Amino acid sequence: MIEGAIAAIVTPFNNGRIDEAALRDLIDFQLANGTQGIVPCGTTGESPTLSHSEHERVVEIAVEHVAKRVPVIAGTGSNCTDEAISLTVHARKAGADAALMISPYYNKPTQEGIYRHFEQVAKAVDIPIVVYNIPGRTGSNIEPETMARLAGIDNIIGVKEASGSMKQITDVIAMCPDDFVVVSGEDYLTFPLLCVGGKGVISVVSNAAPRQMADLCNLFFEGRHEESRRLYYKLLPLLHIFFIETNPAPIKAALAMMKKIESEEVRLPLVGMSEANKNRLRKVLEAQGLLGDTK
């Protein structure tokens, strides 16, 4: 279920409201270009600033519009275990194929607290769960030993690993069962992660370059490793430029430049990109051929 380039899709806004038509168009763009999964309501989808009703609506639109063509992995994490259960229950009822759950943020739980949080949600909701480890945002790291414990829970099937540490990634792969899926949460580590046994990426960059990110993974899985490596290095400026300011401001600016969304609007406390960085972004998009044919 979890393999290849999976898009952590943006939530488009227009005048403060979710642009539902644009969201459906973005999903069509992804599926037409080989994306192998859709993640609504992740970090890139601005889940922290969505109301509960908006969060649920975005998941429902994604499930309905994808219509089982690829897996939908709904973001359902929270720093409150009861809230995480509630969001995950909704995702299952809506028809999501799996849930992506960020480690509890701000609270800074111990490793035992992190384990019990995920254990409680997994017991409460019969849905495949992908753990999301991103200590730069949560304030705490899920240690490899804790991940190995979590991998022993039947419906915890994998991890989106965004610690930025190849040592941690390799330790997790080494300590967890062979069927426990490890995917990158950092676009720039996609190729290195594939080389050590990872299964793909939950990608920001796929929003703007779905075909290229899908090809990078597919070439690798086909055994065409040198072609995959060359594509990775060709894309490297793109893999960096989308993170020169806080995600998802740069990717939304790019999608607006590509005429994929009407507005690059983000919700406070996030703000739009500076003009200087927009100019840098435009140059990279032009060099990558993304401001021409973007069907």
Q: Determine the average pLDDT of the residues in 10-25.
A: 98
Q: Determine the average pLDDT of the residues in 56-70.
A: 98
Q: Please give the share of the chain, as a percent, with pLDDT higher than 90.
A: 98
Q: Please give the share of the chain, as a percent, with pLDDT higher than 70.
A: 99
Task: Please give the Cα distance from 196 to 38 (Å, whole number).
Answer: 24
Q: Which of 160, 199, 252, 260 is catalytic?
A: 160
For the question of residue 233 being annotated catalytic, the response is: no
Q: Determine the average pLDDT of the residues in 162-190.
A: 97
The whole model's pTM is what? Answer: 0.96
pLDDT tens figures, 143-155: 999 999 999 999 9
* Cα Rg of the chain (Å, integer): 18
For the question of residue 115 being annotated catalytic, the response is: no
Q: Which of 115, 132, 188, 232 is catalytic?
A: 132
Q: How confident is the model at residue 49 (pLDDT cuts 50, 70, 90)?
A: very high
Domains of the chain, CATH where assigned: 4-225 (3.20.20.70)
pLDDT of 283 over the 60 cut? yes
For position 37, what pLDDT does the model report? Answer: 98
Question: 61-97 burial by CB neighbour count: b if 16+ within 10 A, else e?
Answer: bbbebbeeebbbbbbbbbbebeebbbbbbbbbebbbb
